Every structure is written in structure tokens, then in C-alpha cells.
Amino acid sequence: MDFSQISARGLVLLGCGKMGSAMLSGWLAQGLAPDAVWVIDPNPSDWLKAQGVHLNAPLPGRPAVVLIAVKPQMMGTALPVLKTMGGGGTLFVTVAAGTTIATYEAVLGTATPLVRAMPNTPAAIGKGITAICGNAAASAADLATAEGLLRAIGKVERLPGEHLMDAVTALSGSGPGYVFHLIEAMAAAGAGEGLPADLAMRLAIATVAGAGALAEASSESPAQLRINVTSPAGTTEAGLRVLMDPETGFPNLMRRAVAAAAARGRELGK
């Protein structure tokens, strides 16, 4: 990414926990100068203190970008600090879950360019996926800037509108939790068949990681990859018969899980 315009006016990062640190690390590695970054964080890590950024210092009046990475429950106290930067001229990008564009516009003004983003926790190792959408004031250039910044933590997908953000949150935002629980369940099932617990866990982790990497790298669909590994009347078919049961298997369970997460996202956004 070309950081020249951002470097000239500065970037403000509000909140530098795991997600903020992952993004900052990526930007610095790609060439953003530390002295072009202002970070506001009440409990800075030792890593952050050593990066050479402006830390909890007076902010520039009109930075190029303000990226909001605080927890949603902290938004009420965090946003008023940024109010004077609203109204246009500064692009706001937010990765806070559940906080709607309208909430930001109520504080910053409707003329403020704003991009709402939903990343997920694999961003911590540069393997995340982030969905973004902009408000009416966000230009194509603003969306491109936000996308470039968020590529530091993985892939980026653009949404046609904010109405899809709760579904994204329920699928990819919350999805790592579902996969981690799948690993737990697989390991426990393997231990139930007599494997030592630590071996069962290593096998489960490597299986899920390897299958995900294969699905990402393959030109074939996950459905076809499943068919490829399923020999007629074999062991995989026996297991899948249980997992694909329309009443008790994965499809119904996953629909319920994603629907519950999406419903909770809508509640948090009110």
C-alpha cells in the first residue's frame, strides 16, 4: 500500500489490543513510518511502547485516517474524543463489533466518511478475513484506502450494504469460535476411542488446519473435496452419515448457531 498521503497527515489508532496491534504491526512492516502514527490506548503493551509511535500524545487536528479498534462497550467514552475530526477530510474506519454507522454519524456527523469493518481473530497472524461497507460520504478512494489498510491482517471483502454486516459477524466474525469448538469436540471424540488426549488434540488441530488450507488452495469446491475423500461404504461415509443428518447433524446445528449469533448482533446494534 502507498502510505504517502497517510504519512503526510498522520493516522490515529484508537485502541491497540490484539486487533489493533495486529494491524499496526502489518502497517509498520509494509513501510508506514512510526512517527506518522498516533495511538491512544490506556494500557499500552511493552511491544507498543517499543514501536516509536506517538503514544497517548496530543492528536493531529486533521489526520488522514482514524481507525477505531476499541471494544463496543468503550465507544461511549471514546467517540467524543474524536468529534472535532468529523465532518469530512478525515476517513474513519471502525473494526468495533455491533456499532452501526448511524451511531458513529450521530457523533461525528453524516458528512464524515466512514467505513465499517468486521475482521476476525485469525487477523492476529495475518490470516483474517474482513468485510467492509461505507456510508454515503465514503468515496471509492476512501473504500480503497480502508481496504488497503485492512489487507495488513488478511483478505478483504466488500459488502453491498450494512444490512449484511450482522450475517457477516455471525459467520466469519464469530466463526473462529465455532471452529475452535469443532477441534475440541473432535479431540474429545478421539480420546473417547482410546487415543491419549494430547495426541488426539494434535491430530484434531492438524486435521482442521490442513483441511482448511486444502479448501483454500484447491480449485474444487468443499463439496467436491468431501466427495473425493468419501469412499463408498467406507469410514468417512459412516461418519458423514451422522454429521449430515438433516435433523441432528451439522447443517441444522450451524443454521441455528449462525442465526443466534446474527440475532445477538442485531440486538447489540440497537
Mean model confidence pLDDT for the chain: 94
Quickly tell me which residue has 495426541 as its cell. 199
How far apart, in Å, are the Cα atoms of 135 and each of 101, 108, 116?
7, 12, 8
Average pLDDT of span 102-112: 94
How far apart, in Å, are the Cα atoms of 17 and each of 61, 261, 264?
24, 23, 23
In the predicted structure, residue 98 carries a pLDDT above the cut 90: no
- Burial label for 126, CB within 10 Å (0-12, 13-18, 19+), is middle
- Reported as a single tens digit per residue, the pLDDT across 178-204 is 999 999 999 999 999 999 999 999 999
Query: What value, to the nearest 5°, has the Cα angle with vertex 240 and ends 237 and 246?
Result: 130
Does the domain at residues 175-268 carry the CATH identifier 1.10.3730.10? yes
Quickly tell me which residue has 474444487 as its cell. 220
Range name among 42-51, 76-85, 117-126 with the lowest pLDDT average: 76-85
Confidence of residue 270 (pLDDT cuts 50, 70, 90): confident
Domain range summary for the chain, segments of one domain joined by +: 4-165, 175-268
pTM, rounded to two decimals: 0.90
Average pLDDT of span 36-59: 96
- Reported as a single tens digit per residue, the pLDDT across 132-150 is 999 999 999 999 999 999 9
In the predicted structure, residue 269 carries a pLDDT above the cut 80: no
For the chain, the distance separating the N- and C-terminal CA atoms, rounded to the nearest angstrom, is 35
**Where is pLDDT greater, at 173 or 269?**
173
Does the domain at residues 4-165 carry the CATH identifier 2.60.40.650? no
